[in-house]
Structure 1
Amino acid sequence: MKTIVILGGSFAGLTLAHKLLKQHASTGDVKVIIVSPNTHVYWNLASVRAIIPGQIPDEKLFQPIAPGFKQYKADHFEFVLGKAESIDVAGKKVAVSSATGINNLSYDILVLATGSHTKADAPWKGRDTYEETRDVLHDYQAKVKKASSIVVVGSGATGVETSGELGFEYGKTKKITLIASGDHVLEGTPASVSKTATNLLKKVNVNLTLSTKVVGDAKMPDGRTELTLSSGQKITTDLYLPTIGLVPNSSYVPADLLNSNGFVVVDNNLSVKGATDVWAVGDVSSIQRAQIVNATKQADHAAKNIDLAIKGQPLLPYKVGGDMLAVPVGRKAGTGHMGSWKLPSFMIVMRIIPGPNSSAFRAQIAGNLQ
């Protein structure tokens, strides 16, 4: 029996685990071990709305991992609550820290699916534990409720969606400002998408400050934040929400397997370059930008290739494919694109990417996937 250790219990790791277990259900020739410091999965796509008090209850944002794997035999699946500290690639072992100390897990095949975190203190990504993530989110909900002025920095998808949600809820009662380093929002998207996003933000009373960077921030004695802008101007806000800076969770990975930004380098089969029987999927991988649709697509492909590798058959190259982006701006409109095709607003409102209220999230955790 092959032991497959998957580091990371979020979307990429869970998708891959379920796929592998279902592929080998009849043969029973693999055991899948998921290692994660979190007992729950965090639907972080909804974090931009969840920071607004009363919008989304915790039980719809967080789902426990273990119940989704009760369908499998105990000798075919194991969940380890712990955090990867280091990898011995030659010896095929992973050092995992947990409440009982450091333990070494042996593997035949290893998958790195540990995701990423934000540079700044913000609830857009999960923390080490479910409790930490939940408490940070609650803290931000309280800050948003109390604030009279909020500055969002970064005009990518997270920044635009956050500003739109805040503007929709508070645009007439709080001062909401979005600061963008470029001369338009959603850089890298078709011009029509950026223009639509700009108009929608203005409709919900978001103030746009373009071609400006935040070069410094300092906490003031009264709890507010003073921001120094690239123009030399200083502004003060009750709440500062940076949405830029994504850092891969790869501190446990040997440096020679990482690129200069800390992402794991993979080949076009999704196997890690410079290592044998090691794969990487999701945000921690260098192959594609961090998006849930990319993470789950990579996990699905890696499951096929790992199965082929076990059988000694040729691997299939992964196709990166066209770019896709869906950005709600408030609760009644949005914009986005699929390749060069602009997505109509009604598709965004109907949640082309499933939200925490949909069956898709629960199906993902339970492994009820196509």
Structure 2
Amino acid sequence: MSKPRVVVAGLGDSGLLTAIHLAGDADVIGIGTKPGMVSGQELGLRLARPDFWAKHHRVPFERYRRLAGVRTVHGAVTGIDPAGRTVSYKNADGMTGSEPYDVLVIATGVTNGFWRNPDVQTESEVDDAVATAHQTLAGAQSIAIIGGGAASVGSAANLADAWPDKQIDLYFPGEAALPQHHRGVWQRVSKLLVDRGVGLHPGHRAVIPAGFDLDQITHEPVEWSTGQPAAQADAVVWAVGRVRPNSDWLPSELLDEGGFVRVDPNLRVTGQDAIFAIGDIAATDPLRTSARNRADKLLARNIRAHLKGGKLQPYKPPRRRWGSVVGTQDNGLTVFAPNGKGYRIPNWSVDTVLQPLIVRRGIYGGIKKPSKEKS
């Protein structure tokens, strides 16, 4: 008897982990725009220390042991036929095709600045994008970072650490940054920023003209709707949180008013029997937290239950963001709990326990060592 066929549209963190969990129970086909996992997390480390960032956040698919039985398609999904249960795509060579499914997982994520996009890219194109952003900031004497979320705060902290002689300024609209975290997180992180010489500018809301391209590092002065004089810097990093769901390929009846995929508490797409959604594209809650709270294991369990006629379990989103804000530093990795308390993991433990045992083996089911570096 043949296994059920599951198509995972999108192979970022959430889609990749879902495919890994289902690999032994279904015939899994994953469609992704990158030749491997290119994480959208830890923007600050990506900009300031790209080689270190890539070590943990950029992994070719062939290195994942539990993806051995998963067929991956390097391309972009272009459409869906819910009645016929097929997904169409265009691969990296421009050839079109389609895949039938018994279950479809929508995990195509969001576009958010220059570091998270739906473009089909080769390995060398990803290399160039990462290197270009790093080199642009390396050549700037002054850097302005716009936004109050974890991406902007982490960028300010890591850029100031990498280049202490540069003028780094962080502009955010509220009285405090990190509004989706417990207030205690900002109290602790803001002290780190001040200690590293970052200029903090609360109460600054940027003017973003219609058609303005937020998906690049800019150089023009930044105007403020809150009345302050324009700010000038050699390089401006926009991390204002204007995410755009990668849902153009989906019919409008599956989407909410913001273009995100409507789901029920079990992560099943509203009004659909065999389609599920996870990650930043899934409208689970205002923070769309299924992308960062191990909902992949729950989703895989629910898909198996669906295929066997069993009971599905609801996803319960946390009320606040949690986790790392600035990533691994010289003194280790600080992880913040939802109550604002920070727990520091020393570097020796990050390298010998957290990454190899908990993340690579425990979460991803084993990752092979990289082959010899390119000459």
Do Structure 1 and Structure 2 share a fold, with TM-score over 0.5?
yes
Q: Quick check: 207-216 or 191-200, which moved more? A: 191-200
> SS at 2:168's partner residue?
strand
CA contact (8 A) 1:257 1:265 kept: yes
Q: Distance in 1 between matches of 2:47 and 2:332?
A: 19
AA matched with 2:299: A
Gaps of 5+ in 2: 368-375
> SS at 1:234's partner residue?
coil
- Report the alpha carbon displacement of residue 191 of structure 1 after superposing the two structures with TM: 2.8
CA contact (8 A) 1:224 1:237 kept: yes
The share of aligned pairs that are identical, in percent, is: 22
AA matched with 1:78: R
* Of 71, 93, 109, the match for 1:78: 71
- Report the alpha carbon displacement of residue 40 of structure 1 after superposing the two structures with TM: 1.1
The alpha-carbon distance between structure 1 residues 315 and 18, as it changes in their structure 2 partners (threshold 3 A), is same
* Alignment of structure 1 residues 179-190 onto 2, 5 Å: 179-190=171-182
> SS at 1:235's partner residue?
coil
Q: Distance in 1 between matches of 2:261 and 2:351?
A: 26
CA contact (8 A) 1:96 1:104 kept: yes
> SS at 1:193's partner residue?
helix
> SS at 1:133's partner residue?
helix
- Report the alpha carbon displacement of residue 126 of structure 1 after superposing the two structures with TM: 7.2
C-alpha offsets along residues 215-265 of structure 1, whole Å, 9 cap, x if unaligned?
Answer: 14789xxx8322112215222211110112222211111111111111111
Tell me whether 1:340 sits opposite 2:339 in the alignment. yes
Tell me whether 1:88 sits opposite 2:81 in the alignment. yes
* Alignment of structure 1 residues 305-324 onto 2, 5 Å: 305-323=302-320, 324=322
Gaps of 5+ in 1: 25-29
AA matched with 2:6: I
AA matched with 1:41: M
Tell me whether 1:202 sits opposite 2:202 in the alignment. no
Q: Distance in 1 between matches of 2:55 and 2:154?
A: 22
RMSD: 3.1
- Report the alpha carbon displacement of residue 187 of structure 1 after superposing the two structures with TM: 1.4
Tell me whether 1:39 sits opposite 2:35 in the alignment. yes
> SS at 1:237's partner residue?
coil
Tell me whether 1:303 sits opposite 2:303 in the alignment. no
Tell me whether 1:14 sits opposite 2:16 in the alignment. yes
Q: Find the counterpart in structure 2 of residue 273 from structure 1.
A: 270
- Report the alpha carbon displacement of residue 350 of structure 1 after superposing the two structures with TM: 7.7
Q: Distance in 2 between matches of 1:78 and 1:11?
A: 17
CA contact (8 A) 2:45 2:53 kept: no
- Report the alpha carbon displacement of residue 85 of structure 1 after superposing the two structures with TM: 0.5
CA contact (8 A) 1:112 1:281 kept: yes
Q: Quick check: 173-182 or 235-244, which moved more? A: 235-244
Alignment TM-score, normalising by the size of structure 2: 0.83
* Alignment of structure 1 residues 1-370 onto 2, 5 Å: 1=2, 2-22=4-24, 24=25, 30-52=26-48, 56=52, 58=54, 60-68=56-64, 72=68, 77-98=70-91, 99-118=93-112, 120=113, 122-123=114-115, 127-129=119-121, 130-171=123-164, 173-216=165-208, 224-230=219-225, 231-244=227-240, 245-288=242-285, 289=287, 294-295=291-292, 297-323=294-320, 324-328=322-326, 331-332=330-331, 337-344=336-343, 346-347=344-345, 358=356, 362-363=360-361, 367-368=365-366
AA matched with 2:182: P
C-alpha offsets along residues 70-120 of structure 1, whole Å, 9 cap, x if unaligned?
Answer: 7755xxx322222100111111111111225221211111110112221x3
Q: How many residues align?
A: 352
